[in-house]
Amino acid sequence: MTDFVVVIPARYASSRLPGKPLLELNGKTMIQHVYERGSESGATEVVIATDDERIADAAESFGATVCMTRNDHQSGTERIAEVADLLDWDDEKIAVNLQGDEPSMPAVLINQCAELLEDREADIATLASPFLSREDFESPNCVKVVCDSNGHALYFSRASIPYAREAIHADIAMETALHHHGIYAYRCGVLRQLVNAEPSALEVSEQLEQLRALSLGMTIAVGVPAERPGIGVDTEEDLSRASAELSDTSST
């Protein structure tokens, strides 16, 4: 198995769910659930990266390793890059960005994402699944990715891509795109290049930071997950659905 570390970026501020990492799900904080998913993977180390003492205190209470970071980061990617520098990680070290609002991310998918970087042509790896509904395919909240024949990303968009010029091809378009999941694996050297580069026009337009990597000519390997990830939590409704998912998982 590929050697890798997991970093969980966690911030207190959230426009829709303030204090999201500390919200309780089935008797545990969300950040503890995410940490446990990371610990169930093959990672050699799991680090929670935060700028908030409340999150740090909660994480240390269940035995997590915490790395305090600056409070001016614009993304989890930037926060993880600071961790890589603070902990003096080598450029070849692989770090998986496990987002702090993914309490139901199966550990097998964390491993799968890291292992995609066995493809030496790839600079970054991520996961994406077939769309389950046309509603999701047409929603700007569901990010689409289209890939080449080698499984490398051609483009990510909030728009419904590819566009079906004729109505009879609408199903083909939806079957061609994949629904992107927000998990990434990077070599630390690539991570440093990313955060030192300016946002690209594509990134600014779509508000998708992975487009910075494509604009820089980087290769993003996209894997179809072995099982579909659980829900990410952005709203109160998501919180209820995630609670139900975790209950189902623990009862099986």
Domains recognised in the chain with CATH numbers: 5-251 (3.90.550.10)
Q: pLDDT class for 250, splitting at 50, 70, 90?
A: low
Kindly tell me if the per-residue pLDDT of 240 is higher than 80. no
Per-residue pLDDT band at 18 (split at 50, 70, 90)? confident
Averaged pLDDT of the chain: 92
Can you tell me the distance from the alpha carbon of 164 to that of 61, in angstroms, rounded to the nearest whole number? 52
Q: Which residue has the tokens 């000519």?
A: 217
Going by C-alpha positions, the residue among 109, 145, 153, 128 that lies closest to residue 4 is 109
pLDDT digits (tens, 9 = 90+) for 141-168: 899 999 999 999 999 999 999 999 998 8
Helix H or strand E encompassing 206 = helix 201-206
Asked if pLDDT for residue 52 goes beyond 90, the answer is yes
Residue 40, pLDDT above cutoff 60? yes
Please report how many Cα atoms fall inside a 13 Å half-sphere around the Cα of residue 129, on the Cβ side: 16
Q: Which residue has the higher pLDDT, 141 or 90?
A: 90
Q: Rounded to whole angstroms, how far apart are CA atoms 249 and 188?
A: 33
pLDDT at site 10: 93
pLDDT over threshold 90, residue 109? yes
One DSSP character per residue, 23-77 reads -EETTEEHHHHHHHHHHHTT-SEEEEEES-HHHHHHHHHTT-EEEE--S--SSHH
Structure tokens at 99: 């987002």
pLDDT of residue 215: 97
Q: Does the pLDDT value for residue 251 go beyond 60?
A: no
DSSP at 12: S
Phi-psi region of 27 (alpha: psi -120 to 50; beta: other; left: phi over 0): left
